[in-house]
Amino acid sequence: MVSAAESVMILVPPFTLPNGLSFSGGRVSEDIEYLNTGKRAYELSVGSMAHADQAALYQLGLVVKMGVDVKVPQEAKDAALRHYNTVNSDSHKGHGNWNSDAIDYEMKAAVLPGTLLGEGYEVVAWIKRPRWVLRGGIHVPEAGSDSDVIYVAMPPNGYGIPTNDGLRDPRTGWHFATTPDRSKAVDLLGKSFAQHMDDQAAVRKLAENEVSYSYRRPTGSGKGVVSRGFPLNDLGPFYELARWYGDRRARDLGAFPFRSLESKKK
């Protein structure tokens, strides 16, 4: 993998997809950086893409690959396709990246009276752009001046499936809904692809390739940093996890550094 000094940063203008996923705009590394450095999760997550930004970038790349025309800048389409191809390349199989997000499974979220949660759903505190603080010898995420805290209902662990609201929550980029049945997930994802593709064999193959798994910890289990893996097997090209602590060292997880348009102006 390339080093930070050698990395190519691609300018991606802001865009919003019809399903609500959006990219905030900025420069993104063309390749995964900082692999096999021995750095801990919190060190790599700082300055990386937020999970929602990466979900939007990947989704646009998929849409472009499918030949679906969306009203976004051509520069965004080109960059998204490059990101999509990076994730799905054989050279990146088994790798992945940390995101600039964390989940505090200990924070108590107020659930409004009358709110109905689906079976297995739990409300957690999602922290975008967290501040990492050393407490008791462990780096834990907290909400800093640049952070956003979002209380979200996350589905149980399983394969992501489309809903009436889309596949992923625009606020976090996480799957709206899941199923433990991979075949069911492939069927449902294929039906959504079939709205834009005529070749049913191609639809099935794409659905088989794109179905991805989501894994989170239960509430009350501490604090975890968000990451995405590219196993390119039954877990899919975007295996999303909110599992490990900030001091975790993962041999095959690096970062996609991100420089926002706002920070460039400062």
pLDDT of residue 7: 72
What pLDDT digit, counting tens, does each position of 162-183 carry?
Answer: 999 999 999 999 999 999 999 9
CA distance 121 to 154: 5
Paired sense of beta strands 122-128 and 148-154, if any: antiparallel
What pLDDT digit, counting tens, does each position of 2-22 carry?
Answer: 444 457 999 999 999 999 999
Tell me the sheet residues that pair with 216.
242
For residue 36, what pLDDT band results from cuts at 50, 70 and 90? confident
Nearest Cα neighbor of 8 from 210, 187, 259 is 259
pLDDT of residue 200: 84
What does pTM read for this prediction?
Answer: 0.92
- Number of separate helices (H) and strands (E) present in the chain: 6, 16
pLDDT of residue 4: 45
Long-range contact pairs involving 64-71 (C-beta distance under 8 Å, separation at least 24): 66/193, 66/196, 66/197, 66/206, 67/196, 67/197, 68/196, 70/17, 70/18
Q: 242 near 225, Cβ under 8 Å? A: yes
What pLDDT digit, counting tens, does each position of 141-155 carry?
Answer: 999 999 999 999 999
Query: Which two structure tokens, joined as six digits, stand for 58?
Result: 């990947």
Nearest Cα neighbor of 217 from 132, 265, 157, 141 is 157
What pLDDT digit, counting tens, does each position of 76-106 carry?
Answer: 999 999 999 999 999 999 999 999 999 999 8
Mean predicted confidence (pLDDT) in 35-64: 94
Domain residue spans in the chain? 9-265
Tell me the sheet residues that pair with 225.
102
